[in-house]
Structure 1
Amino acid sequence: MLPDMAIVVVILISVYTDLRYRKIYNALLLPAFLLALLYHGSSGGLSGLLTSLQGTLLGLVLLFIPFVLGGMGAGDVKLLAVIGAWQGPQFVWFCFLCTALVGGLIAIVQLAKSGRLLTTFKMIILTFIPGMPKVNTFGTLATAKAGDAFPYGMAIAAGTLATYILR
């Protein structure tokens, strides 16, 4: 029960700050992470602590490549890691999958609204055809135009909610 409540609080605050300031703050995530370790270490001993750390590591690893490629901010990565710290690796894996689906749907809607959906799909398909020039026209968060990027904390929140519903 406490892990669920902690995640709800962290996600609500994260979504608010991500929407308002485009940031998910360490001042929220670090205490949430430390509390998760303390909770699982005291309630589950070494086994609980290790499960919490496994969830943290998996959450970090799953979003590390999109972060390195400039597709999301560090706060998004750390938020998924905190979710993993509270709920463990199995939960964070399904949360990641649900989040990816939600994030993909949001991206498709944004591309459709901007009239770039077909062009984007054509570029993606052309990258898989041998002999076609490979041009990175997708960019990063740093080069995104206003309205192109969206706060991924929303997708993480929706993915987490979907994971709770589906489990």
Structure 2
Amino acid sequence: MPINVILLMILGVCVVTDIRKRKIYNKVIFPSLIAAFVLNTALGGFRGFEEAFLGFIVGFALLLIPYIFGGMGAGDVKLMALVGAFKGYEFVLESFIYMAVIGGILAIGVIIMRGGFRNSLGVGMPYGVAIAGGAVMALLMDVTLL
């Protein structure tokens, strides 16, 4: 449970900076990654470390191709990897599904606010919001299923 609270606080900071400055800062991500590995190892031993590492790799891989093609910022990729490091690969996969839905809704909102698809081309959006929203939805679903 403390891992969930810590993750929510980090996601909150990243959402605020992504909305305000369009950046997800390494000075938030890197110490948080260390915390994720330390906490998971302390709570689960080597198995906890393995779960954090696999979650990190899966989270990173999920957004790597969109990043390579310019559809995503590096901070977004690192944030998704961070979610995986905190909660593991199954959670990050579930978060990814919710993130995609929330990202689609946000994209539709941008298109509507810009007055159409053509006016929206080349306009980015703070995708950290969708990543955080996906993680929060996955957390909520885990809580309601218990």
TM-score scaled by structure 1? 0.80
Matches within 5 A, 1:71-86: 71-86=71-86
Q: Secondary structure at the match of 1:47?
A: helix
Q: Does residue 12 of structure 1 match 2:6?
A: no
Name the amino acid aligned to 2:134.
Answer: G
The code of the aligned residue for 2:135 comes to T
The answer for the alignment partner of 2:28 in structure 1 is: 28
1:113-158 deviation digits (Å, cap 9, x = unpaired): 33324x79xxxxxxxxxxxxxxxxx6xxxxx3xxx21100111111
Q: Which residue of 2 aligns with 1:154?
A: 129
Q: Figure out how many residues of one structure are paired with residues of the other and give that number.
A: 141
Query: Which consecutive residues of structure 1, in runs of 5 or more, have no partner in the other structure?
Result: 121-137, 139-143
1: CA distance, partners of 2:116 / 2:9: 36
1:110-121 matches, cutoff 5 A: 110-117=110-117
Cα RMSD over matched residues? 1.5
Report the identity percentage.
Answer: 36
Q: Is the 8 A contact 2:8 2:136 kept in 1?
A: no
Higher helix fraction (1 or 2):
2
> For residues 31-52 of structure 1, what are the alpha-carbon distances to aligned partners after superposition, in whole Å with 9 as ceiling and x for unaligned?
1101111111122111110000
Normalised by the length of structure 2, the TM-score is 0.91
Larger radius of gyration: 1
Cα deviation digits, residues 81-111 of structure 1 (max 9, x gap): 1111110001100101100110011111221
Aligned residue in 2 for 1:3? 3
Describe how 1:10-159 pairs up with structure 2 within 5 A. Answer: 10-117=10-117, 144=122, 148-159=123-134
How far apart, in 2, do the equivalents of 1:86 and 1:13 lie? 16
CA distance in 1: counterparts of 2:137 and 2:44, whole angstroms: 26
